[in-house]
Amino acid sequence: MPSESDRFVRLSTGETITFPVRCRASVVGAAFLASAPVLERVLPDELAPIRVTPTRALVVFAAVAYDHVDGVDSYDEFAAIVPAVVGSGGVLSMINAVTGTIGGYVTYLPVTTESGKALGTDVWGFPKEVADVTITDEFGIRRARVETRADGESEDTEPEDAEPGEHVVSLSISPPRTTRHRSISTTGFARRDGSLLAMGIDLRGDLAIRPFGHATLEVGSGTHPITDHLAALEIGRSVATFGASDLGVEIHPGRWYRPASER
């Protein structure tokens, strides 16, 4: 794993990347209410979900079309992210998020290229796998559909029981239209080698955010392991939608997270 002082890293697919990794992408996504106990079980012990009620917490799904990624070919991506804070849970974690370390823990991240997968797994340990991610626009609705792909996947990420072409998950969003230029710095979390890794992520661009909005998530009935997890979340209605047609993204090297008591 690269340290914060490293400037270059060579991927297993042969490409060399430079930090921070700079990308440009078209993004749409939505935040939903989901089962807080289920989200707690997928998070590392150091993190807690953002609870809105004692039993419901936030989960985010997004469709990302990368137009440019430093060092690798462009690719498309579907992301399942649990917004999380460092520390214990509870409804107050929504308030704690304002002053504490808030970020996102990625639970599922299919991408369309081997180099896109290597960028996430080799550098930060994100749970990437190669899949067919199809992003379309029709009648003002953006849809992202994920299907399994057997060819091109390595043995360590290929779902053992899934058949090629199985529907895993689909996201449909009516993207919000009113944009405002925003600069957001957040933290991404990943589990690597049994420890929690944190990396800085900077977002800049004209971003639209709409409370509630229209978004639906459809979980496939195939044999991919993630479908059982997604079904168990008991996804409710969307509480926010967001979108950006040209978002600048900078991802920094990771650092091992240590509690304040151990620093």
pLDDT in tens, 33-54: 999 999 999 999 999 999 999 9
CATH number at residue 153: 2.40.400.10
Q: What is the pLDDT of residue 222?
A: 84
Contacts of 95 (CB under 8 A, 6+ apart): none
> Does 178 reside within a domain?
yes
**Radius of gyration over alpha carbons of the chain, in Å?**
17
The domain in which residue 206 lies consists of 18-254
Q: Residue 241's pLDDT is what? A: 97
User: Which two three-digit tokens encode residue 215?
Assistant: 């978004």
> Which residues sit opposite 64 in a β-bridge?
27, 77
| pLDDT mean over 171-179 | 94
For residues 142-169, average pLDDT: 73
Average pLDDT over the chain, rounded to an integer:
89
In a domain, 9, yes or no: no
Q: 233 is written with which tokens?
A: 């979340």
Assess if residue 7 is contained within a domain.
no
Residue 31 is assigned to a structural domain of this protein = yes
Residue 101's pLDDT is 61
Number of H helices, E strands in the chain: 4, 14
Of residues 156 and 234, more confidence is placed in 234
Is 234 a member of any domain? yes
pLDDT of residue 7: 82
Residue closest to 58 by CA, chosen among 81, 42, 90 = 81
Burial class (CB in 10 A: 0-12, 13-18, 19+), 260: exposed
Inside any domain, residue 116: yes
pLDDT tier at 159, thresholds 50, 70, 90: low
Closest-CA residue to 257 (of 196, 175, 190): 196
**Is residue 245 scored above 80 in pLDDT?**
yes
Name the band, by pLDDT with cuts 50, 70 and 90, for residue 164. confident
> Is residue 260 situated within a structural domain?
no
Tens digits of residue pLDDT in 81-136:
999 988 765 554 545 544 456 799 999 999 999 999 999 999 999 999 999 999 99
pLDDT at 105: 97
- For residue 263, what pLDDT is reported? 52
Residue 93 resides in a domain: yes
Q: Distance (Å, rounded) from C-alpha 155 to C-alpha 39?
A: 27
How far apart are the C-alpha atoms of 136 and 48, rounded to whole Å? Answer: 34
Asked if 111 and 146 touch (Cβ cutoff 8 Å), the reply is no
- Of 110, 124, 194, 126, the C-alpha closest to 158 is 110
pTM for the model: 0.90
pLDDT of amino acid 81: 98
**Looking at the predicted structure, is the pLDDT value of residue 243 above 60?**
yes
DSSP structure class, residue 54: S
Predicted confidence band of residue 11 (pLDDT cuts 50, 70, 90): very high
Q: Are 81 and 99 in contact (CB under 8 A)?
A: no
* pLDDT at residue 33, as a whole number: 97
pLDDT over 90 at 167, yes or no: yes
For residue 161, the model assigns a pLDDT of: 57
Residue 217 CB partners (closer than 8 Å, separation 6+) = 30, 32, 61, 169, 170, 171, 230, 235
Q: Model confidence at 152, in pLDDT bands (50, 70, 90)?
A: very low
Q: How many domains does the chain have?
A: 1
Torsions phi, psi of 249, nearest 5? -130, 130
Q: Which of 9-23, 83-97, 170-184 has the lowest mean pLDDT?
A: 83-97
